[in-house]
A and B are shown apart, each in its own frame.
Chain A
Amino acid sequence: MMTRLLGTADAMSPLPKVGSEIIEAIERSRLVGRGGAGFPVATKWRAVAQRSRGDAVIVVNGAEGEPQSKKDRVLMSERPHLVLDGAFIAARVLRARAVILYIGERHDAARNAMLRALSARPESERRLVTTSAAPARYVAGAEAAAVHFLNEGIATPTNVPPYPFERGVGAAPTLVQNVETLAHIASLARTGQAPQTTLVTLAGAVKRPGVLEVEAHATIGDSVLRAGGAIEAPRAILVGGYFGSWVEPEHAWNLPLDADSLRRHGLGLGCGVIGVLPASRCPVCDTAGIMRYLAGESSAQCGPCFFGLRALADACTRVAERGTNPEDIKRLQRWAGEVRGRGACRHPDGAVMFLSSSLHVFAQEFAAHRAHNMSRSA
């Protein structure tokens, strides 16, 4: 039987009676987190289970701060009970005293659907739950930032260790888990079947941008076709959103979306955004815009992230607005290498991974860019 997340009626039914053996089932299914980092779920559950003395906290991460991503919102709107099932299964197995719904402050439809579903749940479940509005900033969805916000009202990352599983909300062992990951766990618990699909958001030059549920072995080309196909010849495909990588279309087309295949090509599905860049857009200008955004989203706590990303965005903007100069290209290469790994969180790493893929895939455009005026005429 094929289980799906979307396009199936969302109904409440009593939670399946699962215990800690579900952790082995999760491990066998090789489920990895869908929030972006792709971390093995079973490892995280064991870490919390080991430390919980009935005091653990489950944070349901529906922050979805990635500008192009919509899949978490669509999932919360369409299958709120499935997400809640996952959260309450986690609460039972990890012996939690609290479940916190951490939903992006602008994701109104998603939050309303989750609250409506919650009101239909039994009192024994409802009394565990509180809700919290995640600030609409890119880093607010990062695990340590969520915990910092819930503890002190500041949605910026903190130093780790201690990791949330060691010392999280109210100093208790805390599981921060993406909403899609929780939904997969719920369907695994209900059906005994490993999840065979994944949610992606198709963005950019496709006929029908939006969220799709694709089979794990489907290729990027399949998912673009399911979104109605590209509306013009693509120049590149962004795999994994702003912390992801640009890939040449011919290379991307036949790549399967499952984590193992992507990893073999040095890629990751990240938060599941697949962005199609049409040949008519200027990749240098788009890269500059995204780098500017990411630089502005640094929480400004770590020098190399704050100054480094700003300098990288400035250099991209100079190439975009004034045209190529070899000094800036050399600086971009060098700084991208130097900034990596030098922040308290992975924000700078994600940003320079994205930039490095731009410099590689768009090497010709970066090497021969002519000044664009601000109106960006085609």
Chain B
Amino acid sequence: MSKQFELSVDRMTCDGRGLCAELLPELIRLDDWGYPILTPGPIPEHLIPLAQRAVEDCPVLAIAMRRTQHKK
């Protein structure tokens, strides 16, 4: 077991500003209405700093990074 991080979005809070997809296009794209589609699964190590920024810079604080347990 190793500790890993996963992205999530609060669907009610999110109002489709789209900043997260600009900061982290590797893991977040926008649907046709401007709402984020997240790549499921653990965040690759090297993207964690960018994911952190997406979490912090979302104007409505809808993005979260959660610790998850993943079996190796």
A308 to B35, CA, bound (A): 10
Q: Please name all residues of chain A whose beta carbon is closer than 8 Å to the beta carbon of B32 when the two chains form the complex.
A: 311, 335
- Whole-angstrom distance between the Cβ of A302 and the nearest chain B Cβ: 4
Are A304 and B10 touching (Cβ within 8 A)? no
- Taking CB atoms and an 8 Å cut-off, the chain B residues in 1-44 that contact chain A are 10-12, 14-16, 31-35, 37
A158→B10 CA distance, assembly (Å)? 11
CB-defined A-B contacts under 8 Å, sample of 23:
A159-B10, A159-B12, A302-B12, A302-B14, A303-B14, A303-B15, A303-B16, A303-B33, A304-B11, A304-B31, A304-B33, A304-B35, A305-B11, A307-B33, A308-B31, A308-B33, A311-B32, A311-B33, A335-B31, A335-B32, A338-B37, A343-B11, A344-B12
Residues facing B in A332-352 (CB within 8 A) are 335, 338, 342-344
Task: Kindly list 12 other residue pairs between chains A and B, CB separation below 8 angstroms, not including A159-B10, A303-B15, A304-B31.
Answer: A159-B12, A304-B11, A305-B11, A307-B33, A308-B31, A311-B33, A335-B31, A338-B31, A342-B35, A342-B37, A343-B11, A344-B11
Q: Which residue of A lies closest to B14 (CB)?
A: A303
User: Are A303 and B35 within 8 A (Cβ)?
Assistant: yes
Grouping DSSP codes into helix (H, G, I), strand (E, B) and loop, the B interface class, with mixed when no group exceeds half, is loop
Give the A-binding residues of B (Cβ under 8 A).
10-12, 14-16, 31-35, 37
Chain A residues with a Cβ under 8 A of chain B: 158-159, 301-305, 307-308, 311, 335, 338, 342-344
A135–B16 CA distance with the chains assembled, in angstroms: 29
A308 to chain B, nearest CB (A): 7
Cα-based distance from A335 to B10 in the complex (angstroms): 20
Q: How far is the CB of B11 from chain A (nearest CB, A)?
A: 4
CA–CA, A302 to B10, complex, Å? 9
Instruction: Give the chain B neighbours of A302 by CB distance below 8 A.
Output: 11-12, 14
Q: Which residue of B lies closest to A159 (CB)?
A: B12
A305 partner residues in chain B, CB cutoff 8 A: 11
Residues in B neighbouring A301, C-beta threshold 8 A: 11-12
Q: How far is the CB of A192 from chain B (nearest CB, A)?
A: 41
Contacts of B15 in A (CB 8 A): 303
Most buried by A among B11, B14, B32: B11
* Residues of chain A contacted by B34 (CB below 8 angstroms): 303
Measured CB to CB, the closest approach of chain A to B62, in angstroms, equals 10
Measured CA separation A301–B16 after assembly (Å): 12
Set of chain A residues within 8 Å of B37, measured between Cβ atoms: 338, 342
With both beta carbons as reference points, the residue of chain B lying nearest to A307 in the complex is identified as B33
**How far apart are B12's CB and chain A's nearest CB, in angstroms?**
5
B12 surroundings in chain A (CB, below 8 A): 158-159, 301-302, 344
Enumerate the 7 nearest inter-chain pairs by beta-carbon distance, A residue then B residue, closest first. Answer: A307-B33, A302-B11, A303-B35, A301-B12, A344-B11, A304-B35, A303-B16
Question: In the assembly, what is the distance between CA of A307 and CA of B35, in Å?
Answer: 10
Query: Which residues from A are CB-within-8-Å of B11?
Result: 159, 301-305, 342-344
Chain A residues whose C-beta falls within 8 Å of the C-beta of B33 in the assembled complex:
303-304, 307-308, 311
Find the B residue at minimum CB distance from A338: B31
Q: Tell me how far the C-beta of A343 lies from the nearest C-beta in chain B, rounded to whole angstroms.
A: 6
CA–CA, A311 and B31, complex, Å: 12
C-alpha spacing A343/B18, complex, angstroms: 17
State the CA gap A89–B16 with chains docked (Å): 46
Report Cα–Cα, A343/B33, bound state, in Å.
14
- Taking CB atoms, residues of chain B closer than 8 Å to A304 are 11, 31, 33, 35
Closest to A331 in B: B32
CB distance from B38 to the nearest CB of A (A): 9
- Compute how far the CA of A304 lies from the CA of B31 in the bound complex, rounded to whole angstroms: 8
Closest to B13 in A: A159
B16 contacts across to A, CB distance below 8 A:
303
| Inter-chain contacts of A311 with B (CB < 8 A) | 32-33
Q: Find the B residue at minimum CB distance from A306.
A: B33
Closest to A335 in B: B32
A307 neighbours in B (Cβ, 8 Å): 33, 35
CB proximity of B16 to chain A, nearest CB, Å: 5
Q: List residues of chain B with CB within 8 A of the CB of A343.
A: 11
Query: Whole-angstrom distance from the CB of B18 to the nearest CB of chain A?
Result: 11
Which of chain B's residues have a CB closer than 8 A to the CB of A338?
A: 31, 37
Docked Cα-Cα span, A342 to B33, in Å, equals 13
